[in-house]
Amino acid sequence: MRYHPALLRSIKDFNSGRYFDAHEALEDALDAVEDDDTTWQLFLGLIRVAVGYHKLASGYPGAQTMLTMGLETLVPLPDECGGVRLEAVRQRVRQDLARLDTLPRGPDGQAPRITLAPRPAGR
């Protein structure tokens, strides 16, 4: 399995707290993956999640809406999709949505992270 370069760039930005840049990297790649419904849906969901965390960390309104839309987009996808451990992302978004009213600004505690599934041996 080869990871899409935009996905790797986006994950690096996301995990560094640069949520806006993470969303931009995937948004720029949407046209290139439009023929692959699963990858397109994965990118769209991660874009929405990144925008949600950007809004949350910046204190802008709309974080709940974007995180919810991102979660709804990612729910139908498999637990590992495009090399992403997606269930961990969905679980974290659910936790943060449940606590959104109590979070002062930005995710509480450890920042959210996107992790890659290990590549199968021999690839």
Each residue's pLDDT tens digit, 30-44 = 999 999 999 999 999
pLDDT band at 120 (very low <50, low <70, confident <90, very high): low
Among 32, 10, 7, 9, smallest CA distance to 22 is for: 10
Full-model pTM: 0.90
CATH number at residue 83: 1.10.3450.10
pLDDT band at 106 (very low <50, low <70, confident <90, very high): low
Give the chain's domain count: 1
Q: Is residue 118 part of a domain?
A: no
Q: Is residue 94 part of a domain?
A: yes
Among 12, 38, 34, 39, smallest CA distance to 24 is for: 12
Each residue's pLDDT tens digit, 13-69 = 999 999 999 999 999 999 999 999 999 999 999 999 999 999 998 888 999 999 999
